[in-house]
Homo-oligomer: A and B are copies of this chain.
């Protein structure tokens, strides 16, 4: 039975199925955070006199059971429950009776889902950061192993000036470090407590929003209740944008490695254990993992696009359209973390073919250096440029 049902069987079955969609499955990722937020909400309700001394511990115990069940993958959300918020209230009411029926006092599913998604996102951002740091460590180990080996630096995909694998790998480290700041900024942006904004228009009596802010570890309380709703989609897009930045780096890293591991370049050797084969060509060792990383940036970019399109031209306040902004957020986190992890394995296992890369440093690659050396001695650069290379 749904939270809003006054009698059962009212709604058309096909419409019900359509509106629920896969939300009850996606919410398996969210339920733990809803339970955490519900504990904080219950404590606040106790403080303002809704719960008594006996009720709070019972509620807390039941909610912690949900957390444990959820972490074990054993908390089930039935399609008829619609979402995790309903499943939790139904669980509580069944387990502890009246106290369960009180938990929804002073909140709406609108702020309940907002706070649960924020807590989920904060944890996922931390997880993503860890995987990025792991990749950075692998890039640094790669530098220790192969950093000093010279290679051509390319512009326009043509040999340009001398470079090295150290310079190349380090450019990704610096880029990923910049991405971590973008991710940190996304966390800061969303790190505000929407709980207490209710349906988006606040409450007719005073509650203690600062208390739940403190209990849930938010940096501040998100004040305006309309903005709490209106920030939906915007905040998700801010997170996904940060993930896009990481994926852009992986996309470029994969593009480089795919090029460097062609037979023609031959700079990089991919060991068999990260390659797959062909169903028809027995000789093949294919870099599928890199191709999929390259393509997965499109998945996260599409997640950003989807989120922006969903909120495009929506009026203020809660609109059910928001429900569809949950999937791209979850999918973007999962895709990004999996891609970084796969890339970290690749970086750990590839080898540089020193002989091949160094022999690629053909004479013309030193022309700019020659021109600059001439210019350093006082010849105007534009003239030195013409002297340095004739063809």
Contacts and interface: CB of A to CB of B under 8 A. Distances in A.
Copies in the complex: 4
Interface in A307-335: 308-321, 323-324, 328
A223 B178 CA distance: 12
A45 to B, nearest CB: 10
Contact of A282 (B10, B89, B323, B367): B367
A375 B98 CA distance: 12
Given A155-B110, A201-B162, A301 B296 contact: no
A314 B21 contact: no
A238 interface: yes
A101 B154 CA distance: 26
Contacts of A369: 204
A379 to B, nearest CB: 9
A171 interface: yes
A366 B11 CA distance: 25
Contacts of A341: 14, 18
Contacts of A284: 4, 155-156, 158, 160
Nearest to A153: B201
Nearest to A325: B295
Given A50-B375, A109-B280, A391-B283, A101 B161 contact: no
B308 A160 contact: no
A196 interface: no
A313 B281 contact: no
Contacts of A110: 155, 280
A285 B158 contact: yes
Interface stretch (A115-123, A124-132, A260-268): A260-268
A84 interface: no
A316 B252 contact: yes
A170 interface: yes
Nearest to A275: B11
A20 B102 CA distance: 46
A72 interface: no
Contacts of A10: 272-273
Contact of A156 (B161, B227, B291, B297): B291
A195 interface: no
Interface stretch (A28-36, A59-67, A208-216, A243-251): A243-251
B12 A174 contact: no
A181 interface: yes
A257 B296 CA distance: 25
B389 A286 contact: no
Nearest to A4: B277
Contact of A286 (B158, B287, B294, B375): B158
B225 A263 contact: no
A144 interface: no
Nearest to A192: B178
Contacts of A205: 372-373, 376
A262 to B, nearest CB: 5
Nearest to A14: B345
B238 A203 contact: no
Interface in A331-373: 338-339, 341-342, 345-346, 349, 360, 362, 364-365, 367-369, 371-373
A348 B107 CA distance: 35
A3 B277 CA distance: 8
Contacts of A365: 283
14 contacts: A10-B272, A19-B289, A106-B372, A109-B279, A153-B200, A167-B201, A175-B231, A178-B234, A198-B368, A203-B372, A281-B367, A291-B321, A292-B320, A295-B320
Given A11-B272, A109-B279, 6 more contacts: A3-B277, A112-B279, A248-B308, A278-B368, A282-B388, A297-B309
